[in-house]
Amino acid sequence: MGGFSRPGRAPSDNRRDRRARRGWRRAARAGAVALLVGLLALLTITLPANLAALAGGAASGSPWRPAIGLLSHLLPSGSSSLTPHRAGSGSADAGSGRVVVVPVSQIINHPIVSTGCGRRSPVAPGASGDFSLISGGMRRYYLVHVPLGYIPSRAYALALSFHGNGSDMTQQASLTHFSTLADHLGFLVIYPQGSLGPNHRLGWSSGGPTHPTRNDTLFVSDLLTQAQATFCIDPARIYATGFSNGGGMTAVLACQLDGRIAAFASVSGSYFPLRGGCSPARPAPLLEIHGTGDHTVPYLGRVSIGLLATPDWLEQWARRDGCAATPQSHMLAPSLTEETWRGCKNGVVVEHLRVTDGGHVWPQDTLAPHGLYTPQAPGAPQLTQFIWSFVSRYQLSAPPQPAPTNVRAQ
């Protein structure tokens, strides 16, 4: 009995139709498999960096960062300025366009021209905004505060403020109130954010068993390059400060980025011997504040983890800077002693404030001026003002070189 066929069509036509439909289904399945393989390959390439970025975003309490960190790898090149923003902060993509830093494995350790001069600020004066970039294959974040009265044609000093282990950029801003001081005195502040370490807390690669092992010096260099393409920053007046693990990161930068940062200040810093040693290109002005009752980062170090004693670390820096062997010591108060190494090369000093029985804190109102400086911002801690009075005395003498070609505006 003949096969069933539609009226007016031969059986051979039906067979050809069935074969065509089977061929189409096979082609569709093959295309779907190819698409799946491509997506899996893409995820395999980008997954390591994204896992770190995901964890970093989650730890900092920002649920939108993981999604943006993943999507950024799927966007065309030149999208590295895709940036999340906190409610109420300035928009980093507003104004005169986005600034893109194409990732390169190069640390720039000399002043560069700030191409951001003359560009409208993407953050309103008196406000703060989140920024991000890709550095070392990982999306990294930082918070920028633009001072009240910011004028794009005027070059401003910049303070970098590094948070401690387990903290983040926003908490560091709240701890130090550098933004309040910046609004009074007219300078920019950047609060960089660390990455996750073995203890699953945000921190900096300054040595020690619980700290991250990423190239944070490269991150700071990339951050400065992007910031100088966005804002009008005086390349001779860039300063680094930090608390605890952030103080340790400040010490690393004094060794590795001293050609680009003019002066350094650390509070309760954790100092470890650096792999490859410390060989700064010039004498570095340095301020260190530490409490002898600090149980988190002991003043006399911790041999079991390689943590250096603060007095030993200071003596090492005095030798690097060519200072006098013995510091001048003054008791400013029963619990506060100032030690200053003078006679250093290039007129720099190494200064230390030792707080007897002081703990692991950024002192708010317990550090009286004692004639060391003139308070200028009632809303900022005295210690923050004292730090700024120290670092802002210095500036780099080397002329700035042209900005790298891997920075462009969109």
pLDDT, tens only, 58-105: 333 333 333 333 333 323 333 333 333 333 344 343 334 456 555 556
Backbone region of residue 161 per phi and psi (left: phi > 0; alpha: psi in -120 to 50; beta: other values): beta
267 and 195 together in one domain: yes
Does residue 138 lie within any of the structural domains? yes
Does residue 102 lie within any of the structural domains? yes
Beta-bridge partner residues of 142: 131, 192
**pLDDT category of residue 405 using cuts at 50, 70 and 90:** confident
pTM, to two decimals: 0.77
- Residue-level pLDDT at 369: 54
231 and 333 together in one domain: yes
**Domain final residue, candidates 45, 74, 103:** 74
Round to the nearest angstrom and report the end-to-end CA distance of the chain: 73
DSSP 298: -
Does residue 253 lie within any of the structural domains? yes
- Contact between 173 and 179 under an 8 Å Cβ cutoff? The reply is yes
Q: How far, in Å, CA of 261 to CA of 97, rounded?
A: 27
**pLDDT category of residue 378 using cuts at 50, 70 and 90:** confident
Indicate the burial class of 256 (C-beta count within 10 angstroms; 0-12, 13-18, 19 or more).
Answer: buried
Give the residue numbers spanning the domain of 46: 14-74
- Residue-level pLDDT at 173: 97
Torsion angles phi and psi, residue 110, rounded to 5 = -155, 160
* Cα within 13 Å of Cα(201), Cβ side: 12
Assign residue 402 the CATH number of its domain: 3.40.50.1820
Does residue 84 lie within any of the structural domains? no
319 and 386 together in one domain: yes
Q: Identity (one letter) of the amino acid at 205?
A: S
64 and 105 together in one domain: no
119 and 64 together in one domain: no
H helix or E strand, kind and range, residue 178: helix 178-185
Query: How many independent structural domains does the chain possess?
Result: 2
